Amino acid sequence: MTDRILNIGFIGNGKGANRYHMPFSLALPEKFKIKTVYARHLGGPWAELPGVEYTTDLEAMLADPQIDIVEISTPHSTHYALTKQALEAGRHVVCDKAFVGTVAEAEELYALAQAKGVTVQC
Tell me, what's the pLDDT at 86? Answer: 98
pLDDT digits over 66-94, tens only?
A: 999 999 999 999 999 999 999 999 999 99
- Average pLDDT rounded to a whole number, residues 26-32: 96
pLDDT digits over 44-60, tens only?
A: 788 889 999 999 999 99
Mean pLDDT (the chain, rounded): 94
Quick check: is 84 in a domain?
yes
DSSP reduced 3-state for 38 = strand
- Average pLDDT rounded to a whole number, residues 12-34: 94
Distance CA 107, CA 102 (A): 9
Quick check: is 79 in a domain?
yes
How far, in Å, are 11, 13, 86 from residue 19 at the CA level? 14, 10, 23
Provide the domain limits for residue 16: 6-39+50-121
Quick check: is 73 in a domain?
yes
Tell me, what's the pLDDT at 2? Answer: 62
How far, in Å, are 15, 48, 98 from residue 42 at the CA level? 13, 9, 24
Quick check: is 100 in a domain?
yes
Domain count, the chain: 1
Quick check: is 1 in a domain?
no
Tell me, what's the pLDDT at 32? Answer: 97
Share of the chain above pLDDT 70, in %: 98
pTM of the model: 0.92
Tell me, what's the pLDDT at 45? Answer: 81
Distance CA 62, CA 44 (A): 23
Per-residue 3-state assignment (H helix, E strand, C coil) for 52-73: CEEECCHHHHHHCCCCCEEEEC
Quick check: is 44 in a domain?
no
- Average pLDDT rounded to a whole number, residues 86-109: 96
CATH number at 105 reads 3.40.50.720
Quick check: is 45 in a domain?
no
Quick check: is 75 in a domain?
yes
